[in-house]
Amino acid sequence: MDSGHHAYTRFEPAGVVAAIAPWNFPLMLESWKVAPALAWGNTVVLKPAEDTPASAALMASLALAAGLPPGVLNVLQGYGPDSAGAALTAHPGVDRITFTGESGTGKTIAGAAAANLVPVSLELGGKGANIVFDDADLDNAVAWSIRAIFSNAGRVCLAGSRLYVQRGIYAEFTDRFVAAAKALVAGDPKDEATQLGPLASEQHYRKVRSYLDGIEADGGTIRTGGLGDGWVVLPTVVENALPAARICREEVFGPVVTIAPFDDDEDAIRSANDTRYGLNAMVFTRDLSRAHRASAALRAGTVWVNCFFVRDLRAPFGGVGDSGIGREGGTFSREFFTEPKAVVMQV
């Protein structure tokens, strides 16, 4: 400033934050929303998914027991459309909306927020690309790629559900990947030996099954997997599916991965970016320069190199395209959960 004036910025609480969390990692994702909102001085109305109400109620009870004043963290139970969720997102008393969930629901919430000019942070669906270059450490790439698609039975928005492998190592990698998928133990989650349990509901099981039913018509071949007992979908690896097939374009949200070869770096990046989603991607290579070039070229909010789902909560988290709007984490959470105010005074 010119002589005689001083300027500074205040980061004041936005007010009331509406936080809406999904059912796949309820307590973790609820806490990721609630903690920064409270830290920056806001009050929170948390609406958990109707399928997983208990963890939010327990967290709020523990917050009260720990001394959080009544009314600071509130839990609103109920359904979404035409119910509690719709009423919450359209309420004129809400100052911020943070939502994690399906892309179509996110668009509806964005429309409701727009009517009141309320800022939104939307972390939506994904169709993560996983690129394995021919110079990758195959042991490491196979191990992380298995985790990237089959953790939590594939019910992860960040899942590496599109696997691209350079042609020179395609056969070897695919054989090893398929063998590792076959070795996973699927079944009763109460059994300590189980590594992959049933899907969360009959409705979700039917959705995932519908993608498997269409694989043959789209030219694909199931190398391993398919339907298990009850609501179990076995770790499923699909080859030769057409790029335009539903299973290659839409978020399955289950333990199903498509795998295809690529020839060079440009081919890999082109295939990876050929999606309306842009939440995350993975790159496996020993070449640091290649890793930087690929990370820069990929259209995604997060790129993991030689790993998967390693989070630093200070780093920005979010996606582009149908994967969302905005970023949270570190100073990005501060920008979203506060109203920055410039103060300029003559001294």
Q: Which residues are catalytic?
A: 123, 157
Edge-to-edge strand ranges of the sheet holding 233-239: 221-227, 233-239, 256-262, 162-166, 129-132, 280-284, 302-305
Helix (H, G, I), strand (E, B) or coil at 1: coil
Alpha-carbon radius of gyration of the chain: 22
Asked if residue 208 lies in contact with residue 227, where contact means CB atoms within 8 angstroms, the answer is: no
- Give the ranges where the chain is alpha helix by DSSP (H): 26-39, 54-65, 84-90, 103-115, 138-150, 167-183, 202-213, 246-249, 265-273, 288-297, 331-337
**Token pair for 237:** 């690896």
Q: Is the torsion defined by CA of 87, 89, 91, 93 positive or negative?
A: positive
Q: Amino acid identity, residue 245?
A: A
CA distance to 28, 128, 138, 154, 206, per residue, from 188 (Å): 23, 28, 31, 16, 19
Opening angle at CA 263, ends 261 and 266, nearest 5: 115
